[in-house]
Amino acid sequence: MKTVVSLAAIALAAASFAALAGEGGPRGDHFKKADTNGDGMISKAEAAASPRLAKNFDVIDANKDGQVTADEMRAFHEKRRAEHMKKVDANGDGLISKAEAQANAPRLFEHFEQLDANKDGQISKQELEAGRGHHGKK
């Protein structure tokens, strides 16, 4: 199950930044780890330790103050998630059919049956969120 949930999170969200965006629990711990001086923000120098964060730092730093906050990280992550959902949900109905998953998100398609909790032949945003909520759990 851990693999299924991990793949769903990757397929939906470009999850590179998900762990850095939270405030409490394991996700918040990752943000705190990146924030080496403990000021509640990640500077460009602090971001250098994370190649993915460093690569996207200027895009994530929405107010261009040279610091990334948890809110900016969350906003970036949500934007990426929405962009990916739009790409996968080809007909724009807010649901991912098996055909859409097969055509646009092969890793999601591989685990479609497990993620389709209500077995209606479509994966809703809520079903994807539920899968992401279990990310990292067995």
pLDDT tens-digit readout, 26-74: 456 777 889 999 999 999 999 999 998 999 999 999 999 999 999 999 9
In a domain, 7, yes or no: yes
Alpha-carbon span 9 to 32, nearest angstrom:
22
Alpha-carbon span 31 to 67, nearest angstrom:
13
pLDDT of the residue at 115 = 92
When pLDDT is averaged across residues 17-28 and rounded to a whole number, the result is 46
Amino acid at 132: R
Residue keyed to tokens 């918040």: 28
In a domain, 138, yes or no: no
The domain total for the chain is: 1
Q: Give the residue numbers spanning the domain of 117.
A: 2-133
In a domain, 76, yes or no: yes
pLDDT of the residue at 134 = 56
In a domain, 109, yes or no: yes
User: Taking the CB of residue 84, how many other CB atoms lie within 10 A of it?
Assistant: 19
pLDDT tens-place string over residues 91-113 = 999 999 999 999 999 999 998 99
pLDDT of the residue at 44 = 96
